Structure 1
Amino acid sequence: MKTLLMTLTAAGLLIGTGTAGSTLDGSPWSWDKDPGKSLTLTGPSGVVCRLNFDADEPKPWIHPLNTTDGRTLTWLSPPDHPWHWGLWFSWKYINHVNFWEMNRKTGRIAGRTTIRNAEIVQADREAGVVRMTLEYAPRDREGEPWMRETRTIRIGTPRPDGSYRIDWAMRCTALSDLELGRNPKPRRGYGGFSFRGAKGFFPVTMRGAGGRPGNDLFGQRAPWASASGPVDGKTAAVAIFDHPSNPDHPAHWFVRSRKIGDGQPYTFLNPALLYEEDRTLQAGETMDLIYGVLVVPHEAEDEVLEAEFVRFGRETEP
């Protein structure tokens, strides 16, 4: 089965061009490369998107995720859920060990996600691409990890309308028998690929494929879902695509858009792979996952998102 990396290689896109902080000739976009730490797309309004993959951090994430005119859509480590990393992927439990939440007193996570061999393999007029290996094991475990993952993240340069797409592809290989677990409440499993909306990106309207509104989207299946609303006085939208090849597609959606605690906005969008039940992998078994994210600096019509979902499925064909 081809991964996104293989698809990109076949298309001749992984060419490793560009230099740190260089502006691409004739393009308003540039890539700031900090090897082993981050890859940042910038434009006339400043930072557009930063992918963080520093091995000293708990896991990779994207923040800020901005519109091309500089408005921020993600929230990194909000006080209510400091383990929310903007746009990121995290398992909830592996073999009953928590890889999602940190201990608020120690700042440590029981499940350790180790970033290895992160490499910027493309930074040109078409896209920036980072390939990395991740290993999963309990924090106190020595020796062979429980699971190894190869991950390829492609950030496309913006289009004329200011929209851009991120493709996030993973191949997970079990090195021992695994149980991938969810939170214990029946039919309420969250975890996996997740988006936490910025404090200023609120209130939002959530919709799923077929026009299903947010309140009806929770727990329902849809191939894609979006959040749109005002940020800095203008509308923006984020859509997440669940690839047709993903297990249990179309995804169940775990969504939130409300104020919690002391009135902090809580916007959360998650195609919940483990929503209904846990999943097991036998030693040596692999599982491929591909997600897409479309950022739009204006209102996004359902017809446009549906067309982009079809394009995403075709361009990242497994």
Structure 2
Amino acid sequence: MNNQHKLFKYSAVLALSAMSYACGGAQEKAEQSEPEQMEDRIQLIQDEVAKKVDVIIDGEFFTSYIYPDSLEKPVLYPINTANGTAITRGWPVTPRPGERVDHPHHLGLWFNYGDVNGLDFWNNSSAITDKSKYGHIVHKSINSVKSGNEEGVLEVSLDWMNDQGEVLLTENTTFIFSGKENQRTIDRIATLTAPNGEVKLTDNKEGMLGLRTARQLEHPSNKPEIFTDASGKATDVPTMNNEGITGMYLSSEGIKGDDVWGTRGDWVSLTGKINSEAISVAILDYPSNPGFPTYWHARGYGLFAANPLGQKALSDGKDELNFKLGKGESATFKYRIIIYSNENVVEGKVNQDYMEWAK
């Protein structure tokens, strides 16, 4: 429990912001201002003091890009459906009753990796006291914020650093937010560059685009489990009350449930219900990405991640990549996240959306 108490030192501003939106704060803001001309459907609102950019679609809060100093990487948090339901776990920022309190580095939607020149960026959090073997990602600048009727676009620059402040990788990322009735979409396009020398992203199971889901979207827990990271640190994931827990993975290869872990595929969807709302969350890989088609680091306890670089670890040694960038070289990783709500996604819908996007 000591680590849990430490985690509540996260930014008070962040927690209050998330809770205010849960109570309709974003809706109130939208209703208070009625401009003379029609506003863009998709509004991006920058708040430099709170270190966040809020995304509002049709007057409803969707998500925030947050970068407080208390986090070891910027993330999108929380993420809501078109119906206003959070698909992301609340803990450790705004905990909810009945949630798991494992893996404190799993927050919202993030992008990092478990072995970058020997440093672990994935597992770093406020629970880690000795940072010498860990890396962190620092928000450097917001380069562009654009609202629009069809999409909102946010462009940011980040630095992947060691605990001495030395930059291993620079990251220039574009987020594209869009939405329509019963659907919300995030495109995350990240270009990593090695400005100061060769960077090795050695095969490691801890990566790369990660999402930690709300408890209701987990698979029912049938037995306690222990998961060990690449450095040997073990985390207990106990059996919990399964009432209202309905999640189920499905991959583009037709693989279901926990069997999705360690397999390759163009996309994976996670389907379940939160209260009476039918929800599906899909992560889509892109053909030009390194390591395509990605391996899936998808766990029934709520970790939903695409890991194109951890091939040896995820294939039990059948494949090996050991991706690296020479000095000045770059690589781009492009993903789409779709949140469907208020409807059961018909068979083939995710694949159809994937084909339209990937072409």
TM-score range, shorter chain: 0.7 to 0.9
Range 27-36 or range 173-182, more displaced: 27-36
Query: Which position in structure 1 is the counterpart of 2:160?
Result: 136
* Selected match of 1:75 from 89, 94, 99: 89
Paired position in structure 1 for 2:108: 86
**CA distance in 2 between partners of 1:80 and 1:299 (Å):** 30
Q: How big is each residue's C-alpha offset from its partner over 1:130-152, in whole Å with a ceiling of 9 and x where there is no partner?
A: 1111111211245xx11111111
Correspondences of 1:281-300 after superposition (within 5 Å): 281-297=325-341, 298-300=343-345
- 2:282 corresponds to: 239
Conserved? CA contact 2:202–2:310, under 8 Å: no
Secondary structure, counterpart of 1:33 in structure 2: strand
Partner of 1:4: none
Q: Distance in 2 between matches of 1:164 and 1:141?
A: 36
Mapped contact 2:43–2:152 kept (Cα < 8 A): no
Partner of 2:139: 115
Picking from 124, 129, 138, the partner of 1:106 is 129
Deviation (angstroms), 1:28: 6.3
Unaligned runs of 5+ in 2: 1-28, 93-100, 218-244, 313-321
C-alpha distance in 2, partners of 1:61/1:52? 6
Q: Which has the higher contact order (CA 8 A, sep 6+)?
A: 1
Cα distance between partner residues in 1 of 2:56 and 2:130: 31
Question: Per-residue deviation at 1:107?
Answer: 8.8
Q: CA deviation at 1:46?
A: 4.1
Q: 1:280 aligns with which of 310, 316, 324?
A: 324
The answer as to whether partners of 2:81 and 2:339 remain within 8 angstroms in 1 is yes
Pick from 186, 200, 208 the counterpart of residue 192 of structure 1. 208
From the CA coordinates, give the structure whose radius of gyration is larger: 2
How much does 1:34 deviate? 1.9
Aligned to 1:261: none
Structure 2 residue aligned with 1:96, among 105, 115, 118?
118
Percent sequence identity over aligned pairs: 24
Q: What TM-score do you get using the length of structure 1 for normalisation?
A: 0.79
Q: Of 249, 261, 265, which aligns to 1:222? A: 265
Q: Say if 2:210 and 2:303, in contact at 8 Å, map to a contact too.
A: yes
Q: 2:306 — aligned with what?
A: 271
8 Å CA contact retained: 1:35, 1:120? no
Number of corresponding residues: 278
Q: CA deviation at 1:26?
A: 6.7
The match for 1:66 among 76, 80, 95 is 80
Note closer, same or farther for the CA distance 1:194–1:288 as it changes in structure 2 (3 Å cut): same
* CA RMSD across the alignment: 2.5
Equivalent AA in structure 1 for residue 127 of structure 2: R
Alpha-carbon contact 2:40-2:147 (below 8 Å) kept: no
Q: Which residue of the partner structure matches residue 202 of structure 2?
A: 181
More helix by share: 2
- Tell whether 2:186 aligns with 1:166: yes
- CA distance 1:204–1:150, shift in 2 (3 Å): same
- Would you tell me which structure has more strand in proportion to its own residues? 1
Q: d(CA) in 2 for partners of 1:197 and 1:75?
A: 5
Contact 1:42 1:49 in 2 (8 A): yes
State yes or no: 1:306 paired with 2:351.
yes
Within 5 Å, give how 1:38-53 maps onto structure 2.
38-42=52-56, 46-53=60-67
Contact 1:190–1:274 (8 Å) recurs in 2: no
Q: 1:150 to 1:30 in 2, by over 3 A?
A: closer
User: Residues of 2 paired with 1:215 and 1:253: CA distance?
Assistant: 11
* Partner secondary structure for residue 255 of structure 1: coil
CA offset digits 1:24-46 (Å, max 9, x no partner): 82776644332473222335784
